[in-house]
Amino acid sequence: MAKEIQLKYGCNPNQKPSRIFMEEGELPVTVLNGRPGYINFMDALNSWQLGKELKAATGLPSAASFKHVSPAGAAVGVELTETERRIYFTGDKPLSPIASAYARARGADRMSSYGDFAALSDICDEDTAMLLKKEVSDGVIAPGYTEGALEILKTKKNGNYNVIQIDPEYVPAEIERKQVFGITFEQGRNNIVLDESVLTNIVTKNHDLPDSAKRDLVIALITLKYTQSNSVAYAKNGQVIGVGAGQQSRVHCTRLAGDKADHWWLRQAPQVLNLPFKETIRRADRDNCIDVYIGNEYMDVLRDGTWENFFTEKPAVFTEAEKRAWLDQNTGVSLASDAFFPFGDNIERAYKSGVSFVVEPGGSIRDDNVIETCDRYNMVMAFNGIRLFHH
């Protein structure tokens, strides 16, 4: 391993030279293929930490899909359902656990994951490499690669796909530093361990917190640890289904993440699963079409006739009443926040997206209002007393 790696460029192409380096010792990463840039490595190193912590917390192979230093999705390696195989475009063949984890992380928000950086907690196998090969992605970081997987990945992007290997035993220094405007900032690393032990302080009337919800709340919390603040995450069935990142207002985080969670659920509606796509339509274009179909823009597509470019026949409109009826079937969703909810409006919005379980730090002067709102909807909420800002 090297002491430094020269990067393609910094945040923007005009920002040269650019490098990553160690002041002491050697870098824990090796570039096996491609030439990563500054943002690629920012995404790679943040997403690797997320995936590693998810596996430590759950014992399951884990993956993350990162864009611009925040996760678009994160998941553990639970076997895909038939519906998930369809909406994630994985085909009928069963996948390995680590491939399943990445398919679910990528599938949480396929629009945002377009051009992502993938992180894998386990060795990248051929199943995962084939998934990555078919997707628009900038790179992947993992503790290792099978020979077959590496051969597949080296053919991607005309041989320029970024493949990074990281030493899974690497432990960073306790103090971290960065510069802003020529001034050095220093702080202790956020080494807090997030597991089910942080969910014991239940403050609502309903105390029924099943193991599946505990797992999902922990997954959401660990995801927030590596999400640009303010941030809120929705999770279900071992995967994040909506992330609201980097918003100045917390309720805007809750709305943004809730809209993404709704979109994830609406993709599973029969009206969407049965869209009559032409065989020649690529998966990225299918994602765009689905986004338009689910949104109100589809009426414009019908009016100007451009539906003929994508479908073999004209799909019926997915009405607002039909959408609401389908969304009402989504229940048992978990919600985590990286800081306290200042008002009950966050809970009101979360309820519309099927949230039944909540974890947040608590500590607002209006905690009573937030608790009261949870009680109104028979939600379970835990105060963990932990703020998870990440900048």
pLDDT digits (tens, 9 = 90+) for 137-158: 999 999 999 999 999 999 999 9
Catalytic one of 8, 68, 252, 323: 68
End-to-end C-alpha distance for the chain, whole angstroms: 28
CA angle 251, 111, 317 (to 5 degrees): 90
Catalytic one of 162, 230, 330, 346: 230
Across the strands, what pairs with 334?
A: 235, 357
Catalytic one of 93, 158, 191, 391: 391
Q: Which of 288, 240, 284 is nearest to 261 (CA)?
A: 240
| Bond prior to 17 in cis (omega within 30° of 0) | yes
The one-letter code for the residue type at 291 is D
For residue range 126-138, list pLDDT tens digits in order. Answer: 999 999 999 999 9
Alpha helices in the chain (DSSP H): 38-58, 82-87, 97-107, 126-134, 147-153, 211-225, 250-266, 270-273, 283-294, 298-304, 320-327, 345-352, 367-376
- Residue 302: the pLDDT is 67
- 241 with 335: CB under 8 angstroms? no
**Is 230 one of the annotated active-site residues of the chain?**
yes
**Is 252 one of the annotated active-site residues of the chain?**
no
Residue 286 pLDDT more than 80? yes
Catalytic one of 52, 67, 156, 263: 67
Report residue 304's pLDDT band, with 50, 70 and 90 as the boundaries.
confident
- 237 with 265: CB under 8 angstroms? no
**Is 346 one of the annotated active-site residues of the chain?**
no
The pTM assigned to this predicted structure is 0.95
Distance CA 391, CA 389 (A): 7
**Is 391 one of the annotated active-site residues of the chain?**
yes
- Residue 342: the pLDDT is 94
For residue range 187-232, list pLDDT tens digits in order. Answer: 999 999 999 999 999 999 999 999 999 999 999 999 999 999 999 9
